[in-house]
Amino acid sequence: MYFMTMWIKSKKPIIALAPMANMTDGPFCRVCRETAGDNFVIFREMASAEAIVRHNEKTLQMCNFAEIERPVVLQIFGGEAGRLAMAARIIYDKFSPDGIDINMGCPVPKITGKTAAGATLMKDPEKAAVIVRAIKAENLPIPITVKTRLGWSDPREILSFAPLLEQAGADGVSIHGRTKMQGYAGKADWKIIGIVKKILKIPVIANGDIGSREDIEHCLQITGADGVMIGRGALGNPWIFSSARLKHFSLDELARVVLRHAHLHLEHYGPKSMVTFRKHLAWYFRGDRVKNMSGIKKTRSALMQINTMEELENILQKIR
């Protein structure tokens, strides 16, 4: 059964981990699942439809996931309907994800430029609709959703864009409450997402600036959405998906999860990969997250220089 139908029938809001390039990879998603249980949906980092169609090994590896991570939605980006439909078919046949999401919100020039993908599709709603129709025509037995923003420059663009996606057959839409031009500046506008929710029949998932359990409740209240999607609020903070565990949070628990994540990262990316794990350490040890830790500045600076698992273990040993 569609995970969305299941959730909606259960009358519980959908909680989702947002897709984040270079962050919501296999190791991080697995840590989130192990830490917080099965009450949320994982959206994996975006993958290039073109690279999938060309059977690029690295990209296909990015889409691979462990059974324990389910429900997992794989996100693809591209600017050409035929290629996106082919990519959707390939990843469905290879990995059987629980959903496929189309990126129509990424503002990064590498994506919006020559490829004319991501947020660029909001400037060409007809093309966006053609893309949804092409992927739906593959008749895959899973939901095909779209993740987008409020618009390219005007936050009210979504009021006409989202209905077009629905008419084209999208099974759901996640909306980041900012325009492309805003990037990450200002505050996400949850009120407009609430207006979209009233217009559409398909599930709407609200996204942007949700950093705590209280924010989840507040955002659901304001938007009336079917669920929320959490991005940066989950980085270094897989506990956000599990209110019960949050209460027992301690430095010991932090060190345990960081070590587990680091081991998975190392296993996945190879012996030299502790350098790329530093970006996760920066989130785990962000000032506002470890307020009560003594010597945090020194610890953080040491963490930002680690090269090996042994170095990480030594630092964590000291804080436990």
Ligand X SMILES: Cc1cc2nc3c(=O)[nH]c(=O)nc-3n(C[C@H](O)[C@H](O)[C@H](O)COP(=O)(O)O)c2cc1C
Binding site for ligand X (CB under 6 A): 18-21, 23, 45-46, 75, 103, 105-106, 147, 176, 207-210, 230-233
Q: Which is nearer to ligand X, 184 or 249 (CB)?
A: 184
29, 32, 106, 219: the catalytic one is 106
Length of the chain: 320
Name the DSSP letter for residue 104: E
Q: Which is nearer to ligand X, 106 or 121 (CB)?
A: 106
Instruction: Give the Cα separation of 244 and 106 in Å (integer).
Output: 33
Backbone φ, ψ for residue 55 (5° rounding): 55, 40
Name the DSSP letter for residue 65: -
Separation in Å, CA 125 to CA 47, 87, 106, 181: 22, 21, 15, 17
**Which residue minimizes CB distance to ligand X?**
231
List Cβ<8 Å contacts ≥24 apart for 111-120: 111/46, 111/77, 112/180, 115/50, 115/77, 115/78, 115/79, 116/79, 117/77, 117/78, 117/79, 118/77, 119/148, 119/149, 119/152, 119/180, 120/79
Q: Which is nearer to ligand X, 172 or 231 (CB)?
A: 231
* 3-state secondary structure at position 27: helix
- Catalytic site includes residue 29: no
Q: Which is nearer to ligand X, 103 or 112 (CB)?
A: 103
Q: Which is nearer to ligand X, 28 or 285 (CB)?
A: 28
Question: Given phi > 0 = left and psi -120 to 50 = alpha, else beta, which region is 301?
Answer: alpha
Beta bridge partners of 45: none
Q: Which residues are catalytic?
A: 106
